[in-house]
Structures are given as structure tokens and as C-alpha cells.
Amino acid sequence: MTFRPSFVKTAVAGAIALLAGTASAQYSDGVIKIGVMNDMSGLYADIAGPGSVWAAKKAVEDFGAAAKGMKVEILAADHQNKPDIGSNIARQWIDVDKVDAIADLPTSSVALAVNQIVREKNKVLLNSGAATSDLTNKACSPNTVHWTYDTVMLANGTGKAAVKTGGDSWYFLTADYAFGHALERDVEAIVTGSGGKVLGKVRHPLGTQDFSSFLLQAQASKAKVIGLANAGGDTINSIKQASEFGITKGGQSLAGLLVFVTDVHSLGLATAQNLLLTESFYWDLNDNTRAFSKEFGAAHKGRMPSMVQAGVYASVLHYLKALEALKSDADGVKVVDQMKKMPTDDKLFGKGMIRADGRKIHDAYLFEVKKPAESKGPWDYYKLRATIPGNEVFRPLAQSECPLVKK
């Protein structure tokens, strides 16, 4: 499949710094190029989209690239949630546009495809948007860092919490692609490992509008928990339609296994109230997250950033720190090795580290969505139920199939 001109138009390069690199630094072509690839106008545009591009540019600004003599350009492209399109963009960026790193990548099937290309070309993948834990397990790469969250984190957060509160029988409603399969698999392991049972599962196409037949099957199963192994618009539509059918009034509960603050905003508190969810970032956690989110909101008509957009900011920032230390962006493996050597520290996720398998480690948070009467204003949606330490919420290295991990 050829790279269509429309994608070239979306790959708009924005020069962030105008100063030439210092004499001691050896940046390829004299410019550090970072491509932000995601869904710009579809199912996942709210959690990533243009907001992720803004976050990448903000990271360059906060890093002070210009003052340090580093010229950085941010490119952007829409992969339309299709692996073939994402692959074509990645090859175009690397081979023609000389992109050094690709960031974001929501849609696990796209991320897995680009993961291989980046490894072949020895560049860097800064994944924030894709959830599949395979990126740091059987599909791990020395060129990839998986930042914000993954399906194991979601299973150890929302999945485990639901089981602990009596949800010991499950029925999965799953998006039929790599992300949904991985999330279903990892949550099912938690459910069965905790003594629960999975009574059934049904898979739906990405971008489904009518969930009635799937929800009726879940309702008929009599499972205590209907696990929604989907995301973005699919999660919003399935929760709205479940509410319309009165499913939760019959004693069953919904577990939104990947819910973002933007989803809650779209749903409204009246529909989303009492949902349990797991995130690694929330705009109202502390003064630093609030300050960042205020700037984001000013640029996005009052919207608050998602954890994916926060992860783009933090991963690009750490990437630039590694380049500054190496004084070169030429060898992707060496850059990622440097990122692993350096402790992570930023205003959105705090202190952390990147493991040998490429998994970024930080705390995760189990939230409950507030009732309408509990909310004090716009975007005041969550109350914190638990903080889960990073070394407990992600897959233990001892269980990793990643060949980069020394047993």
C-alpha cells in the first residue's frame, strides 16, 4: 500500500527550536525529529489526537531545547487506527523525513506493527497510547519504552478491585483486536487466579455503534460483572447503552477496564457515577498536575488532559534528557539504554525508572467516579480509592518473557 498524500499533509513539522546544535553534539541532520502518531479525528482522538501533539511540544519547551542549542521538530500524523497506514507513515517518517523517534501510538495493533519497524530501523518508540502488555513481554524491543499504562496495570487495578468487592463471576465484552484481546486475557488471569469464574465473552468490531446484541448476551449470562475490554468511543457507547437497557438495575455491575477522564466527561456523572477505573495520571492529583492541566485546558477549550497525553509529555521529556546526556540521537538502542540508566523524574508522574524490558514504572491510582452531587465543578470527576505502587501494579520481571530480561 502506498503512502497517501493526505498523510503527508497531516505530518506537519513544527520547528520548536531555532538554534543550531552545539559543536560537541552529533544529532543526525542537525535536527532531532519526533513524530507523534495517533488517531487525530476518530475513536481515540480525545485521549490522544492533537492534545498529544501539544504535549510533545510542551515537553520540548519545558526541557529548554532552544537554550541548550538543540533544534527539535515535532511531526504529527493520523494512523486512523489501521496497522497498514501506521506502518506506511512510520517508514515514510524514518526513511524520507529522517524521524528519530515516534511517540504516542494508541491502538495496540498499530503499535505492535510500528514496534517492529522502529527496531529494524534502529530508531526509538515512545509508546504512551497503546495498552497491550506484549510490548514489554513477548514483543519487547531494545528500541521501545512503554510509558503510561498497560493491560496488566489495568487488570491489577480495576480487575482486582472488582473481584475483591464481590465480583467473582464475569462476562467480557471485548474489542476485537490486539488491545481488547490482551486486556481480556490479563483481567481473566486476575479473575480466575482470585477464585472467580468467567461465564462467557463476546467480541465486537472496533468502532461499534450498536451494542444491544452484545449487552443482551452479557445480561443473559447472569454474571455479576460485565467487563468492558474496550476503550474510547466503544466504552462510551457500551456504557450509555447499558444504562439505557437498565442492566445495572438488575444487579449486574459494569467494569470499565480502560476508562479515561475524557470518557467520563462524555458520559456525564449521572451515567458514569460509581464506576471504578485505574489511571496513572489525573489532572487534580497535585499542584504540578493542576498547573500543567491548566495550560493544556487553555489550549483546548477547557478540556483536561488524559493520561495518554500526560505520558507523551513525560516520555518526550525523558527522551530529550537522554539525548542531552549522549549528545547523539543516531543509535536508537543506545538512546533507550541511556533512558533506562537515568532515573525518571517529571512533574506529572514524579520519580520512577525504566526496566530492562522497557516498562516505565510509576504508581497507578484506583479511582471511583463521583456522584453528580459530589462534584465541585467542571472536570471534578474522581475520588481516589487507592494508590497502587508501581512495583505491584505492573507485570513482575520474574514473569516476563522478554529476552532482554536476564533470568
Say how many C-beta atoms besides its own lie within 10 A of residue 227's C-beta.
29
Max Cα-Cα span within the chain:
69
State how far the alpha carbon of 204 is from the alpha carbons of 130, 150, 198, 226, 356, in Å: 19, 21, 18, 14, 35
Give the model's pLDDT for residue 24: 56
120 Cβ neighbours under 8 A, 6+ residues apart:
none
Distance of CA 77 to the CA centre of its chain: 17
Q: Is the pLDDT of residue 6 over 90?
A: no
Mean pLDDT of 147-169: 95
Q: What is the pLDDT of residues 203-257, one digit of tens each?
A: 999 999 999 999 999 999 999 999 999 999 999 999 999 999 998 888 899 999 9
Percent of the chain exceeding pLDDT 90 equals: 89
* β-pairing verdict for 101-104 and 360-361: unpaired
Bigger pLDDT: 3 vs 394? 394
* 220's grid cell: 443473559
* 336's grid cell: 533507550
Q: Is the pLDDT of residue 17 over 50?
A: no
Mean pLDDT of 338-364: 98
Give the model's pLDDT for residue 11: 39
pLDDT tier at 296 (50, 70, 90 boundaries)? very high
For the chain, where do the domains classified as CATH 3.40.50.2300 start and end? 5-149+286-362, 152-279
Fold of 152-279: Rossmann fold (3.40.50)
Q: Is the pLDDT of residue 360 over 80?
A: yes
Give the model's pLDDT for residue 248: 83
Q: Closest Cα partner for 175 from 257, 262, 297? A: 257
Contacts of 380-383 with CB under 8 Å at 24 or more apart are: 380/284, 381/261, 381/264, 381/265, 381/269, 381/272, 382/261, 382/264, 382/282, 382/284
Q: What is the enclosing helix (H) or strand (E) of 144? A: strand 144-146
Give the model's pLDDT for residue 9: 39
Give the model's pLDDT for residue 20: 37
Give the model's pLDDT for residue 101: 98
How far is 276 from 157, CA to CA, in rounded Å? Answer: 9
Q: Is the pTM of this model over 0.95?
A: no
Q: Is the pLDDT of residue 16 over 70?
A: no
pLDDT tier at 26 (50, 70, 90 boundaries)? confident
Mean pLDDT of 277-289: 97
Fold of 5-149+286-362: Rossmann fold (3.40.50)
Give the model's pLDDT for residue 241: 95
